[in-house]
Amino acid sequence: MASPNRQTWPSMFRSKHASQLWQSQPDMSSSPPSLVSGSTAGRTFKSPFSGPEERNTDPKPRWNPRPEQIRILEALFNSGMANPPRDEIPRIRMKLQEYGPVGDANVFYWFQNRKSRSKNKLLRAAGSGAASRAGAAPARACAPAARQHAAASPYTTPQPKQQQLQAPHVSPTMMAPTSSSSSSSDRSSGSSKPVKPTTAAMDLLSPLAAACHQQMHYQPLGLGLQPATVSAPAATAALEEFVPTATDVEPIFLQYPQGHCLSAGELAAILGAQYMHAPVQQPAPAPASPAGMLLGLCNELAAGPTRSGAWIGAGGLGQHWPSGADQLGLGKSSETFNASAVATDVAHEDATKLGLLHYGFGLSSPPAVNAATTSAPTAVLPLPASSPETGAVTVASAAAAAAGLSNLFATTTAATSEAVTYSHLQEGEAEAADVGFAGTGVVPRGAAVVCIAGTNAVCNVPAGHLHVKTYFGEGAVLARFRSGRFEPLAVDASLGLTVEPLQHGDIYYCVLI
Amino acid sequence: MASPNRQTWPSMFRSKHASQLWQSQPDMSSSPPSLVSGSTAGRTFKSPFSGPEERNTDPKPRWNPRPEQIRILEALFNSGMANPPRDEIPRIRMKLQEYGPVGDANVFYWFQNRKSRSKNKLLRAAGSGAASRAGAAPARACAPAARQHAAASPYTTPQPKQQQLQAPHVSPTMMAPTSSSSSSSDRSSGSSKPVKPTTAAMDLLSPLAAACHQQMHYQPLGLGLQPATVSAPAATAALEEFVPTATDVEPIFLQYPQGHCLSAGELAAILGAQYMHAPVQQPAPAPASPAGMLLGLCNELAAGPTRSGAWIGAGGLGQHWPSGADQLGLGKSSETFNASAVATDVAHEDATKLGLLHYGFGLSSPPAVNAATTSAPTAVLPLPASSPETGAVTVASAAAAAAGLSNLFATTTAATSEAVTYSHLQEGEAEAADVGFAGTGVVPRGAAVVCIAGTNAVCNVPAGHLHVKTYFGEGAVLARFRSGRFEPLAVDASLGLTVEPLQHGDIYYCVLI
DNA sequence: AATCTATGAATGAAAG
DNA sequence: CTTTCATTCATAGATT
B157 interaction partners in chain A (CB closer than 8 Å): 18-19, 23, 30-32
For residue B394, give the 3-state DSSP assignment: strand
Residues 6 or more apart in contact with residue B206 via CB below 8 angstroms: B91, B273, B274, B276, B277, B278, B282
For residues B293 and B295, give the distance between their C-alpha atoms in angstroms, rounded to a whole number.
7
Q: Among partner residues B77, B163, B391, which is closest to A61 by beta-carbon distance?
A: B163
Q: Classify residue B12 as left (phi > 0), alpha (psi -120 to 50) or beta.
A: alpha
- Indicate the pLDDT class of residue B63, thresholds 50, 70 and 90: very high
Q: Residue A161, CA: closest nucleotide via C1'?
A: D15
Query: What local confidence, expressed as pLDDT, does residue B456 receive?
Result: 33
Q: List strand C contacts in A 145-204 (CB < 7 A).
A: 160-161, 163-165
B165 interaction partners in chain A (CB closer than 8 Å): 32-33, 36-37, 58-59
Q: Quote the distance between the C-alpha of residue B12 and its chain's center.
A: 32
Q: Quote the distance between the C-alpha of residue B319 and its chain's center.
A: 24
How close A241 gets to chain B, by Cα (Å)?
15
CB A438 within 8 A of CB A121: no
Measuring alpha carbon to C1', the residue closest to nucleotide C7 is A113
CB pairs under 8 A between A and B: 324
CB A490 within 8 A of CB A170: yes
Q: How many CB atoms lie within 10 A of CB A162?
A: 11
Q: Do A39 and B64 touch (CB under 8 A)?
A: no
Q: How many CB atoms lie within 10 A of CB A228?
A: 10
Q: Is the CB of B112 under 7 A from strand D?
A: yes
User: Mind listing the pLDDT tens digit for each residue in B126-149?
Assistant: 555 433 333 333 333 333 333 333
A53 interaction partners in chain B (CB closer than 8 Å): 66-68, 338, 341-342, 346
Mutation target among B50, B79, B340 for the A interface, most CBs of A within 10 A? B50
Classify strands A450-452 and A507-512 as parallel, antiparallel or unpaired: parallel
- In whole angstroms, C12 C1' to B500 CA is 23
> Which nucleotides on strand C sit less than 7 A from a protein beta carbon?
5-15
Query: What local confidence, expressed as pLDDT, does residue A475 receive?
Result: 59
Q: How many CB atoms lie within 10 A of CB B147?
A: 19
What φ, ψ does residue B218 adopt, rounded to 5°?
Answer: -90, 145
Query: What local confidence, expressed as pLDDT, does residue B68 receive?
Result: 87
Query: What local confidence, expressed as pLDDT, does residue A76 receive?
Result: 84
β-bridge mates for residue B360, sequence order? B298
Q: Do B151 and A26 touch (CB under 8 A)?
A: no
For residues B373 and B236, give the distance between their C-alpha atoms in angstroms, rounded to a whole number.
8
B73 interaction partners in chain A (CB closer than 8 Å): 3
Instruction: State which of A148-162, A263-277, B31-45, B78-92 shows the largest mean pLDDT.
Output: B78-92
Chain B stretch 180-219, residues whose beta carbon is closer than 8 A to a beta carbon of chain A: none
Q: Do B154 and A15 touch (CB under 8 A)?
A: yes
Share of chain B above pLDDT 70, in %: 15
Burial of A333 (0-12, 13-18, 19+ CB in 10 A): exposed
For residues B114 and B107, give the distance between their C-alpha atoms in angstroms, rounded to a whole number.
10
ipTM above 0.85, yes or no: no
Query: What local confidence, expressed as pLDDT, does residue B80 receive?
Result: 77
CA within 13 Å, CB half, B408: 35
Mutation target among B64, B77, B157 for the A interface, most CBs of A within 10 A? B157
> Burial letters for A127-153: b for 16+ Cβ neighbours within 10 Å, e otherwise?
bbbbbbbbbeebbbbbbbbbbbbbebb
For residues B510 and A305, give the distance between their C-alpha atoms in angstroms, rounded to a whole number.
65
Nearest CA in chain A to B67: A53
- Indicate the pLDDT class of residue B108, thresholds 50, 70 and 90: very high
Chain A stretch 36-95, residues whose beta carbon is closer than 8 A to a beta carbon of chain B: 36-39, 41-43, 45-61, 86, 89-90, 93
Q: Classify residue B269 as left (phi > 0), alpha (psi -120 to 50) or beta.
A: alpha
* Residue A265 one-letter amino acid: G
Q: Do A247 and B53 touch (CB under 8 A)?
A: yes
Classify strands B295-299 and B359-363 as parallel, antiparallel or unpaired: antiparallel
- Indicate the pLDDT class of residue B219, thresholds 50, 70 and 90: very low
For residue A119, give the 3-state DSSP assignment: helix
Q: Do A39 and B166 touch (CB under 8 A)?
A: yes
Cβ–Cβ contact A427 with B under 8 A: no
Mutation target among A13, A55, A83 for the B interface, most CBs of B within 10 A? A55
Q: How many CB atoms lie within 10 A of CB B506?
A: 26
Q: Is the CB of B480 under 7 A from strand D?
A: no
CB B226 within 8 A of CB B292: no
Task: Tell me which of B279 and B116 has the higher pLDDT.
Answer: B116
β-bridge mates for residue B458, sequence order? none
- Indicate the pLDDT class of residue B292, thresholds 50, 70 and 90: very low
CB A2 within 8 A of CB A55: no
What φ, ψ does residue A223 adopt, rounded to 5°?
Answer: -65, -35
B32 interaction partners in chain A (CB closer than 8 Å): 45-46
For residues A114 and A166, give the distance between their C-alpha atoms in angstroms, rounded to a whole number.
12
Q: What does R_g of chain A's alpha carbons equal in angstroms?
A: 22
Q: Among partner residues A4, A10, A124, which is closest to B169 by beta-carbon distance?
A: A4
Domain range list for chain B: 67-119, 402-420+436-512
What is the fold, at CATH topology level, of the domain defined by B402-420+436-512?
Answer: Ribosomal Protein L25; Chain P (2.40.240)
Q: Do B171 and A23 touch (CB under 8 A)?
A: no
Query: What local confidence, expressed as pLDDT, does residue A120 receive?
Result: 82
DSSP, res A224: -
CB A262 within 8 A of CB A513: yes
Indicate whether B111 pLDDT > 90.
Answer: yes
Q: What is the DSSP string of B212-280?
A: HHTT--EE-TTT---GGG--HHHHHHHHH--S--TTTHHHHHHHS-S-----HHHHHHHHHHHHHHS-T
How close A70 gets to chain B, by Cα (Å)?
20
Q: List strand C contacts in B 21-80 (CB < 7 A).
A: 29, 60, 62-65, 70
For residues A417 and A182, give the distance between their C-alpha atoms in angstroms, rounded to a whole number.
13
Q: Is the CB of A112 under 7 A from strand D?
A: yes
Sign of CA dihedral A416, A421, A426, A427: positive
pTM, full prediction: 0.46
- Indicate the pLDDT class of residue B79, thresholds 50, 70 and 90: confident
Q: Quote the distance between the C-alpha of residue A483 and its chain's center.
A: 20
**Helix, strand and coil in chain B, % to nearest 5:** 45, 10, 45
Q: Biggest alpha carbon distance in chain A?
A: 74
Mutation target among B165, B326, B334, B409 for the A interface, most CBs of A within 10 A? B165
CB A34 within 8 A of CB A1: no
How close B335 gets to chain A, by Cα (Å)?
4
Query: What local confidence, expressed as pLDDT, does residue A82 receive?
Result: 81
CB B314 within 8 A of CB B507: yes
Cβ–Cβ contact A305 with B under 8 A: no
C-alpha distance from residue A300 to each of A80, A192, A196, B191 (Å): 22, 10, 11, 80
Query: What local confidence, expressed as pLDDT, does residue B102 receive?
Result: 92
Query: What local confidence, expressed as pLDDT, does residue A477 receive?
Result: 67
β-bridge mates for residue B461, sequence order? B393
B120 interaction partners in chain A (CB closer than 8 Å): 8-9, 86
CB B145 within 8 A of CB A26: no
Task: Tell me which of B452 and B249 has the higher pLDDT.
Answer: B452
Sign of CA dihedral B61, B62, B68, B72: positive
How close A103 gets to chain B, by Cα (Å)?
8
* Residue B50 one-letter amino acid: S
Chain B stretch 248-267, residues whose beta carbon is closer than 8 A to a beta carbon of chain A: 265
- In whole angstroms, D3 C1' to A22 CA is 31
For residues B506 and B446, give the distance between their C-alpha atoms in angstroms, rounded to a whole number.
8
CB A307 within 8 A of CB A405: yes
Indicate whether B82 pLDDT > 60.
Answer: yes
Query: What local confidence, expressed as pLDDT, does residue A86 receive?
Result: 83
Indicate whether B458 pLDDT > 80.
Answer: no
- In whole angstroms, C14 C1' to B21 CA is 27
Query: What local confidence, expressed as pLDDT, does residue A504 receive?
Result: 62
User: In sequence order, what E strands does B275-422 have?
Assistant: 286-287, 295-299, 359-363, 393-395
* Residue A139 one-letter amino acid: A
For residues A367 and A362, give the distance between their C-alpha atoms in angstroms, rounded to a whole number.
15
Burial of A51 (0-12, 13-18, 19+ CB in 10 A): middle
For residues A11 and A36, give the distance between their C-alpha atoms in angstroms, rounded to a whole number.
9
For residue A411, give the 3-state DSSP assignment: helix
For residues A70 and B451, give the distance between their C-alpha atoms in angstroms, rounded to a whole number.
45
Query: What local confidence, expressed as pLDDT, does residue A476 receive?
Result: 65
Mutation target among A22, A24, A37 for the B interface, most CBs of B within 10 A? A37
For residues B311 and B356, give the distance between their C-alpha atoms in angstroms, rounded to a whole number.
15
For residue A291, give the 3-state DSSP assignment: coil
> Which nucleotides on strand D sit less than 7 A from a protein beta carbon?
1-13, 15-16
User: Mind listing the pLDDT tens digit for each residue in B377-407?
Assistant: 322 223 233 333 334 444 433 323 333 333 3
Low-confidence ranges of chain A (pLDDT < 50): 1-8, 10-57, 130-459, 513
Closest CA to A274 of A264, A283, A263: A283
Indicate whether B93 pLDDT > 80.
Answer: yes
For residues A474 and A256, give the distance between their C-alpha atoms in angstroms, rounded to a whole number.
8
Chain B stretch 341-370, residues whose beta carbon is closer than 8 A to a beta carbon of chain A: 341-342, 345-346
SS3 for B432-458, per residue? HHHHHHHHHCHHHHCCCCEEECCCCCC
Indicate whether B118 pLDDT > 50.
Answer: yes
- In whole angstroms, C2 C1' to A75 CA is 36
